[in-house]
Amino acid sequence: MLHFIKTFWPQNMKRQVRELFISTTLVNLALSMVMLFEPIYLYQIGYSLQKIMLFYLIVYVAYFFLMPLGASFAKKKGYEFSILLGTILFIFFYISLFLIAQYPFLFYISALIYALQKTYYWPAYHADFARFCGNDEDGREISAMNVASSLVYIIGPALAGFIIYEWGYGALFIISSLIFLVSNIATLATKERFNPSDFSYKQAYKNLFSKENRQALLAYIGFGEELIVLVIWPIFISIIIADVLNLGFIVTLATLVTTLVTLYIGRLTDSKNKRKILSLGSVFYSLSWFIRLSVTSSLGIFFVDTMSKLGKNIVAVPLVALTYEKAKESEHFGQRSLMARIVFFEMSLVVGKLIALVAVYSLLFFVTDQLIAFKATFIIAGAMTLLYMLL
């Protein structure tokens, strides 16, 4: 039985991937405690849906133009140092976010700090993972990372709900900040070896809009749905489930149900056609968005959140595996650097989120009925999810 379970787990993780695995698990523990409550917090202190969407619009517009600078920094100073700065900026972001209630001007400062955090963290993270993940078990390594994230997301929302209930948002942000700091111990335990090199800011935008990358760009634009699942969906379920403690436990239970299935997806990705799995996952995940149109109870939220997380994992594992394969292939054949492909992936993802932001922001101006507005955003997300099949 133990041997059977081990076949779903990666057997040959490189040291760099193991270090990133530990670091990322701790980062996700901190994020699992706060991310769900980011938009809910802004909503509860009096910001409208339009203003919340404006917040994230500032974040992703700034990130779009800063991202190549983050890639350049990572190539010159090292992936792990860039990740370290990204986690420290997480702390500054959550401190700033918490103080918005007292100092409203921090609404804009917080958005810019968040953009900087993404700039330093994500290009370095994906480039580090893509460079060192195994060629024959990349699917299992990615699914293992997702499972580790899912495990902490099982306890994170419930723990966060309890902390907010007992001590408030301030305590939640302090505890999360400490975990962000501790997450760097694994990656900084050994010295990173790398050859400093340059990265072209101008070329990053040429790659993004080049004819040869057009289909991949459209596929990654599907990530616009993430903006809706991370911002609109939490606010929607907080309206249906007003008690933050119960809200945390509902999300925790939904995550628990999907965790073990993700291991199987990783093994399947390594042994079967990744694009077929991606296509099936896209349809299944899209369906979860349309089912949201009829959700009106806690039981319905549990069902659709479980289905949604499962669908996203079926999509994410083969999609990221294909992306990393393309990145390593580019470096191997000397066509472009690995980082160039990673930045293309991240910039495409941001384009998708900006499209979703503009669509939802515009929708909220024309639709006055809040329930209808929520349902319209779910339709937008369901349509965007189907774009993943183009990769």
Q: pLDDT value at position 191?
A: 76
Question: What is the residue type of 315?
Answer: V
CA-CA distances (angstroms) from residue 253 to 167, 242, 285, 302?
A: 23, 17, 19, 8
Half-sphere exposure of 217 (CA within 13 A, CB side): 15
Going through 162-259 in order, the beta strands assigned E by DSSP cover: none
More confident residue, 238 or 138: 238
Is 115 inside any structural domain?
Answer: yes
Q: How far is CA 35 from CA 160, 240, 281, in A?
A: 10, 19, 24
139-155 average pLDDT score: 73
Percent of the chain clearing pLDDT 90 (strictly above) = 31
**pTM attached to this predicted model:** 0.85
Q: Per the structure, how many domains does the chain have?
A: 1
The CA R_g of the chain, rounded to the nearest whole Å, is 20
Distance CA(213)–CA(305), nearest Å, equals 33
Reply yes or no on whether the pLDDT at 7 is more than 90: no
User: What are the tens digits of pLDDT across the range 32-57?
Assistant: 887 766 777 788 888 888 888 899 99
pLDDT band at 106; cut points 50, 70, 90:
very high
User: How far from chain centre, in Å, is Cα 141?
Assistant: 17
- Is residue 321 one of the residues assigned to a domain? yes
On whether residue 6 sits in a domain, the answer given is no
**Residue 211: Cβ within 10 Å count:** 6
Q: How confident is the model at residue 1 (pLDDT cuts 50, 70, 90)?
A: very low
Is residue 378 included in any domain, yes or no?
yes
204 in any annotated domain? no
Residue 295 covered by a domain: yes
**Is residue 33 domain-resident?**
yes
Cα 70 to Cα 67, 99, 128: the distances in Å are: 5, 27, 14
Is residue 21 packed enough to be buried (19+ CB in 10 Å), middle (13-18) or exposed (0-12)?
A: middle
Question: By residue range, what is the domain housing residue 57?
Answer: 15-188+210-390
Q: Considering only 117-131, 190-204, 222-236, which range has the smallest mean pLDDT?
A: 190-204
The domain that holds 321 is classified in CATH as: 1.20.1250.20
Secondary structure element (H or E) that encloses residue 310, with its range: helix 298-332
